[in-house]
Amino acid sequence: MGLFDKLRRAFSAQPEEELKVKQEDEKQAELQEKEVEENETPVVDEASEKVELDSTEPSQVVEDETIDQSVNEIADAENNLQADNQEIEIQNVNELNSQANVDEAKRYDKGLEKSRQGFGAKINALLANFRSVDEDFFEELEETLIEADVGFETAMNISEQLRAEVKLRNAKSKADVSDAIIEKLVDMYEEEGQNEDNSLHFAKQGPTVILFVGVNGVGKTTTIGKLAHRYNMQGKKVLLAACDTFRAGAIQQLAKWGERVSVEVVQKPEKSDPAAVAFDAIKKAKAENYDILLVDTAGRLQNKVNLMNELAKIKRILQKEIPDAPHEVLLALDATTGQNALTQAKQFKEVTDVTGIVLTKLDGTARGGIVLAIRNELHLPVKLVGLGEGMDDLRDFNAEDFVYGLFKGLVTPKKD
C-alpha cells in the first residue's frame, strides 16, 4: 500500500479517533487496576511457617508431603504473579510507545497547521473557478504549486504527469482533481525518498562531530542549543565549538545557550581563526571523552570563496584528529523564507558536502511545501525540523507525519 492510500485510510478513520482514545484510556485504567490487585496478593513467609511447624506438638505436625505440596503451590503462585507482572510491563511499554507515536503525529499536525491552511487555500482557490481540465487549468496549477513553495521543477513535473493522469481517470469533479494533484505530489515525494536516510549518524567510537552551516538568522545557533539539550538529557557528554568568530554576538549567543543547557563551550575572542577554535574543541573532545561535539560556523554566502576555504580548513582540522569527521554536515534553513531557503540550499551544496537539512520555524509558516522541493530538487534528506519554540520542539523528521500534517483535510476519505 502506497503512502497516499495509507493517508487516505487514516483520514477516513478520523471520526473514530475520540472513541479509540476513550477505549485506550479505559484499557489502561483496567491494566493499572489489575496490577494493583496482583501486587496486593499476600506474600507467604516460608521461614515463619517453618518455625510454626517446628514448634507445634507432634500431633499437629503436618506431613512432609503436605508441606512440600504447599511450598510448591506458593512457588507456582509467585511464578505466575511474576509472569503476569512481566506481561503487564510489556503491555505498558507498548502502550507508551504507541502513545509516543500518537503524540509525535500530533506535533506535526499542530506544527503544520499554517502550512496546511495555506496550501489548502491555494488548492481551493484554484478549484473555485474550476470548469474543465484544459490548458488554462494546468497553467494555473503550475502557478499555484510554485506559490505553495513546492519548487519550480516539482510544479512542472506534477503538471505534466497530471495531464495524462486526469484523462486516464476521467476526473471531472473538484474532489477527484484535488485528490489527483495531492496523490501525484505524495507519490513523487515518496519515490524520491525511497533511498533517503533521515537519521543522524554517530561515530562507532570516540566523539561524534556534527558541523552546522547556514546563513545568519536562520536559527542555526538555536538549533545547536536545542540539540545539545536533547543529548545532555540523554546522559551524553556534549561540547559546543563557537567557530562563527566573525559575526558580532555569535560567540556570546552560543555561550548563553551553553549556560542554559549546562553544556561547555569552546570559544576564543572575536575575529579569531575559526579553525583554531575547531582545533581546541576536537582536542578537548578526545582528551576528555566527550560523546558529541557540535560545531557552529559562519554563513557568509556573499563571499563564497572565503566561506568555502574556511569550511574546508575546519574540516581538515577535524579530520586530522578524527579521520571520518564530521559525521554530519547539517544545513539550517528557515522554512519561513520559502524559495529563498531553496536558493540557499543550492549555494551551500556547492561549497560544502551537506549531508542533511535542519528546517527551522516550520510551525510558523504557510510554506511547508518547501520540504517537497528540497527532496525533489536537491535530493537532500531533511533530518530535523523545528515545530515550536520550546526546548523539546526540535524533532527528528518523519516523512509520513509530515505528509499527513500537510495534506490533512484535503484528501477525500477512503470508502471501503
Percent of the chain scoring above 90 in pLDDT: 32
Out of 4-13, 217-226, 407-416, the most confident range is 217-226
d(CA 190, CA 399): 8
pLDDT in tens, 111-125: 888 888 888 888 888
Question: Which of 59-63, 178-182, 348-352, 368-372 shows the lowest per-residue confidence on average (mean pLDDT)?
Answer: 59-63
pLDDT in tens, 268-323: 999 999 999 999 999 999 999 999 999 999 887 767 788 888 999 999 999 999 99
SS3 57: coil
Q: Between residues 190 and 16, which one has the greater pLDDT?
A: 190
pLDDT band per the 50, 70, 90 thresholds, residue 93:
very low
Q: Between residues 87 and 319, which one has the greater pLDDT?
A: 319
Supply the pTM of this predicted model: 0.76
Q: Between residues 40 and 368, which one has the greater pLDDT?
A: 368
User: Is the per-residue pLDDT at 99 higher than 60?
Assistant: no
Those residues with Cβ within 8 angstroms of residue 350's Cβ, 6 or more apart along the chain or in another chain: 304
User: Is the per-residue pLDDT at 19 higher than 70?
Assistant: no
User: Is the per-residue pLDDT at 41 higher than 60?
Assistant: no
User: Is the per-residue pLDDT at 232 higher than 70?
Assistant: yes
Alpha helices in 322-414 (DSSP H): 339-351, 370-373, 399-407
pLDDT in tens, 168-190: 677 677 788 888 888 888 888 88
Q: Quick one: how far is CA 109 from the chain centroid?
A: 13
d(CA 225, CA 253): 10
pLDDT in tens, 348-362: 888 889 999 999 988
d(CA 147, CA 135): 19
